[in-house]
């Protein structure tokens, strides 16, 4: 398949813009629903969305089931389940701006290391430079350890786990995109993730009470920030490397940061503005590197 890196970049940035609204949607729901249930129900709604999308768009052969690499499929599903449970738990403990920045800021580092170890494809120097700038900016945006802001260690560890899981999901999905349509990949991965996350949420938090605000938020994050966004992301991985995809997703904390300021009312440190510029600069360097790699 012919690759178009610029299209891949645009698709990742579009997905990241949708992902950036997730934490704010959770915050605006009132957060009465336990974080584990919020993440698990998001996966369930997304799986239903992908089932409907697959039934509508795919040929009958795919609707009847297609053989996928079971190892990659299981890895993608487990990684997505862990990512959702860890991310929403971490955001609840650390706040939208901090949680999103730590989770997504650590993702590119995990992705670069995993890609180097598992596929022997070491990202080029420009990728490491851009990623270093973007991750540094993410730390400044989070304000970790600065301006007297208290840091919840458990929340930070959960967000770091989310970053690792997100990188693992991307690498697993990258191995699937040559052999299956994005609708099949997302339906399979999110179906596995929902089957794992729903019992885990029940064990951890019992039977939930879902208010109208919770239901609206879960429906939004399931359809928009999971369903539509991950379809865009899966299409993007046809055109860019896994490491590049994860780094470009750092546009998400930029969106989340701005929404946390404008909508949620959070007030991160002043240094966060410099961090935002560093993230944008780092993403620009990674985009330039990806374009140069495609020309060689």
pLDDT tens for each residue of 199-249: 988 998 888 888 888 899 999 999 999 999 999 999 999 888 888 888 888
pTM: 0.80
Q: Which of 72, 88, 85 is nearest to 26 (CA)?
A: 88
Rg (CA), the chain: 18
pLDDT value at position 296?
59
Question: Residue 45 CB: number of other CB atoms within 10 A?
Answer: 21
With helix as H, strand as E and coil as C, how does the chain read?
Answer: CCCCHHHHHHHHHHHHHHHCCHHHHHHHCCCCCCHHHHHHHHHHHHHHHHHHHHHHHCCHHHHCCCCCCHHHHHHHHHHHHHHHHHHHHHHHHHCHHHHHHHHHHHHHHHHHHHHHHHHCCCCCHHHHHHHHHHHHHHHHHHCCCCCCCCCCHHHHHHHHHHHHHHHHHHHHHHHHCCCCCHHHHHHHHHHHHHHHHHHHHHHHHCCCCCCHHHHHHHHHHHHHHHHHHHHHHHHHCCCCCHHHHHHHCCHHHHHHHHHHHHHHCCCCCCHHHHHHHHHHHHHHHHHHHHHHHHHC
Distance CA 207, CA 84 (A): 18
pLDDT tens for each residue of 235-290: 999 888 888 888 888 777 677 667 767 665 666 566 777 777 888 788 888 878 87
Question: Which residues, at least 6 apart from 180, have a Cβ–Cβ distance to it below 8 Å?
Answer: 62, 66, 68
Task: Specify which of 85-94, 131-140, 191-200, 284-293 reaches the highest per-range mean pLDDT.
Answer: 191-200
């Amino acid at each position: 398949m012919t690759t178009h890196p610029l299209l891949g970049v645009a698709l990742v940035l579009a997905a990241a813009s949708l992902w950036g609204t997730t934490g704010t949607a959770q915050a605006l729901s009132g957060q009465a629903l336990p974080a584990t249930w919020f993440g698990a129900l998001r996966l369930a709604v997304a799986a239903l969305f992908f089932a409907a999308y697959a039934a509508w768009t795919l040929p009958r052969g795919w609707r009847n089931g297609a053989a996928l690499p079971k190892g990659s499929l299981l890895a993608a599903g487990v990684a997505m389940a862990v990512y959702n449970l860890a991310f929403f738990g971490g955001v609840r403990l650390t706040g939208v701006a901090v949680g999103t920045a730590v989770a997504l800021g650590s993702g590119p580092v995990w992705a670069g290391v995993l890609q180097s170890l598992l596929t022997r494809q070491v990202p080029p120097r420009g990728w490491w430079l851009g990623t270093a700038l973007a991750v540094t900016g993410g730390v400044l945006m989070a304000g970790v350890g600065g301006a007297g802001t208290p840091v919840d260690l458990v929340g930070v560890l959960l967000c770091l786990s989310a970053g690792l899981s997100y990188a693992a999901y991307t690498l697993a999905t990258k191995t699937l995109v040559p052999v299956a349509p994005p609708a099949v990949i997302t339906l399979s991965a999110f179906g596995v993730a929902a089957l794992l996350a729903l019992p885990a949420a029940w064990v951890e938090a019992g039977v939930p009470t879902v208010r109208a605000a919770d239901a609206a938020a879960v429906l939004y994050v399931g359809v928009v920030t999971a369903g539509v966004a991950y379809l865009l992301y899966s299409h993007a991985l046809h055109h860019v490397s896994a490491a590049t995809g994860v780094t470009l997703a750092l546009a998400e904390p930029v969106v989340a940061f701005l929404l946390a300021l404008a909508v949620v009312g959070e007030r991160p440190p002043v240094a966060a503005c410099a961090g935002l510029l560093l993230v944008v600069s780092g993403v620009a360097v990674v985009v330039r590197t990806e374009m140069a790699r495609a020309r060689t």
